[in-house]
């Protein structure tokens, strides 16, 4: 389909006349529901105050007692272990601007209906852009931070030289992945100080965690693991997150190669100079041969979609209440410019720094696969 260049077709009968436009269809935003690891982590936030505190306490001690200790001093002080306090603060504010011209632009529309549809889609892009920002930014923050900071729980060994048929190998690996994963998670039920950063006594259950794997690994299991096909409810629930979000943050500045395939943006930003500006969201590839600053990119773990045969695939256990996302406010305002006859619209919102929102109370754990 050719792009419309504004030229009307000459009428076949009267070449002094031009055929008119029948209609103009305006497509909607094309962004469907965005959900993932971040959607259930939003917590309450208000316009009053900017800080939310989380206090953790540790287990007490017990002592032998037989009821005959006559020398015990009842005034002895037994202070509990020192509690730990974590704060998350509102500090990130974003604004999405949009100018709508309500008069002269109407000349490009067939009627009021087509113009209203067009402006309605443009206005809906404000909320959709916020959704895209939250989806890409919060997912990037949680996944890369978890990958970097999670305690290593172990290695899921999927090496096996007994198979010559690829299908049989996939099927065995699918079954073995879940078997070993279930064993590791089951061990978390035993109280231990080894799982959280505070070294406080805790135990955890399967229901406490989102188990996060790169997109591509789970399909290898569900399509080849025969027990899974017939008993999917008996398996651990796993969340697949797009593989592009897994990576290591670059703490130094650099420049992408002429054929960049692994340096992705950590933030929403414009790269390049006019007229060759490229706008990227978190998780997008940085343009080729482009300089970037420290802490604004990450090196992706994968350049293509992994599967269950990929070596060193990270499997993240992220507590469902970890990385709380606190929203300050969402307000949409507008201002009419009487001189230009246009309307400036603004969508303003705020949130905390999700990358720094790991709560040490909760276990943040990682398994890796070994296939070679």
Identify the pLDDT of residue 230: 45
Q: Can you read off the two tokens belonging to residue 98? A: 């949009």
- Of 215, 178, 236, 202, nearest to 322 (Cα)? 202
Tell me which residues of the chain have a pLDDT lower than 50.
Answer: 229-230
Identify the pLDDT of residue 231: 53
Structural domain for 284, as ranges: 247-300
Identify the pLDDT of residue 362: 96
User: What gap in Å lies between CA 285 and CA 352, rounded to an integer?
Assistant: 25
**Does residue 31 belong to any structural domain of this protein?**
no
Identify the pLDDT of residue 222: 60
**Does residue 10 belong to any structural domain of this protein?**
no
**Does residue 33 belong to any structural domain of this protein?**
no
User: Are residues 282 and 239 located together in one domain of the fold?
Assistant: no
Whose tokens are 């001690």? That residue is 61
Domain termination residue (choose one: 300, 315, 332): 300
Identify the pLDDT of residue 111: 84
Structural domains in the chain (count) = 2
- Of 190, 201, 204, nearest to 61 (Cα)? 201
User: Are residues 199 and 211 located together in one domain of the fold?
Assistant: yes
User: Are residues 221 and 276 located together in one domain of the fold?
Assistant: no
**Does residue 27 belong to any structural domain of this protein?**
no
User: Are residues 210 and 254 located together in one domain of the fold?
Assistant: no
User: Are residues 193 and 334 located together in one domain of the fold?
Assistant: yes
User: What gap in Å lies between CA 103 and CA 353, rounded to an integer?
Assistant: 41
Identify the pLDDT of residue 223: 55
**For residue 225, how far is the Cα from the chain centroid?**
28
Identify the pLDDT of residue 233: 55
SS3 115: helix
SS3 249: strand
Beta bridge partners of 332: 347
User: Are residues 50 and 137 located together in one domain of the fold?
Assistant: yes
**Does residue 13 belong to any structural domain of this protein?**
no
User: Are residues 268 and 219 located together in one domain of the fold?
Assistant: no
Contact 343, 102 (CB under 8 A): yes
**Does residue 140 belong to any structural domain of this protein?**
yes
**Does residue 294 belong to any structural domain of this protein?**
yes
User: What gap in Å lies between CA 219 and CA 241, rounded to an integer?
Assistant: 12
- Of 181, 129, 144, nearest to 323 (Cα)? 144
């Amino acid at each position: 389909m050719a792009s419309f260049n504004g030229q009307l077709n000459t009428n076949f009968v009267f070449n002094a006349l031009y055929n008119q436009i029948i209609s103009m269809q305006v497509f909607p935003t094309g962004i469907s529901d965005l959900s993932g690891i971040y959607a259930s982590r939003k917590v309450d936030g208000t316009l009053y105050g900017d800080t939310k505190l989380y206090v953790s306490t540790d287990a007490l001690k017990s002592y032998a007692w037989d009821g005959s200790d006559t020398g015990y001093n009842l005034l002895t002080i037994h202070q509990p272990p020192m509690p730990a306090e974590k704060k998350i603060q509102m500090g990130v504010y974003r604004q999405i601007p949009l100018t709508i011209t309500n008069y002269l632009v109407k000349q490009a529309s067939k009627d009021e209906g087509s113009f209203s549809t067009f402006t309605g889609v443009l206005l809906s892009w404000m909320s959709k852009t916020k959704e895209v920002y939250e989806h890409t930014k919060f997912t990037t923050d949680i996944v890369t931070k978890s990958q970097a900071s999670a305690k290593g729980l172990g290695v899921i060994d999927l090496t096996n030289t007994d198979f010559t048929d690829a299908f049989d190998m996939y099927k065995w690996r699918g079954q073995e992945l879940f078997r070993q994963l279930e064993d590791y998670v089951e061990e978390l039920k035993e109280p231990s100080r080894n799982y959280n950063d505070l070294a406080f006594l805790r135990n955890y259950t399967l229901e406490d965690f989102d188990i996060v794997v790169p997109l591509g690994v789970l399909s290898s299991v569900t399509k080849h693991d025969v027990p899974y096909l017939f008993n999917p409810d008996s398996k651990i629930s796993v969340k697949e997150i797009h593989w592009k979000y897994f990576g290591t943050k670059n703490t130094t500045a650099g420049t992408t190669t002429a054929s960049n395939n692994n340096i992705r943006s950590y933030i929403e930003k414009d790269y390049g100079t006019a007229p060759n500006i490229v706008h990227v969201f978190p998780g997008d590839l940085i343009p080729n041969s482009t300089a970037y600053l420290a802490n604004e990119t990450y090196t992706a773990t994968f350049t293509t979609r992994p599967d269950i045969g990929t070596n060193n695939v990270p499997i993240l256990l992220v507590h469902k209440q970890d990385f709380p996302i606190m929203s300050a406010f969402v307000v949409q305002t507008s201002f009419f410019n009487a001189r230009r006859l246009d309307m400036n619209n603004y969508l303003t919102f705020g949130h905390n720094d999700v990358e720094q929102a790991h709560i040490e109370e909760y276990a943040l754990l990682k398994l890796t696969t070994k296939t070679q």
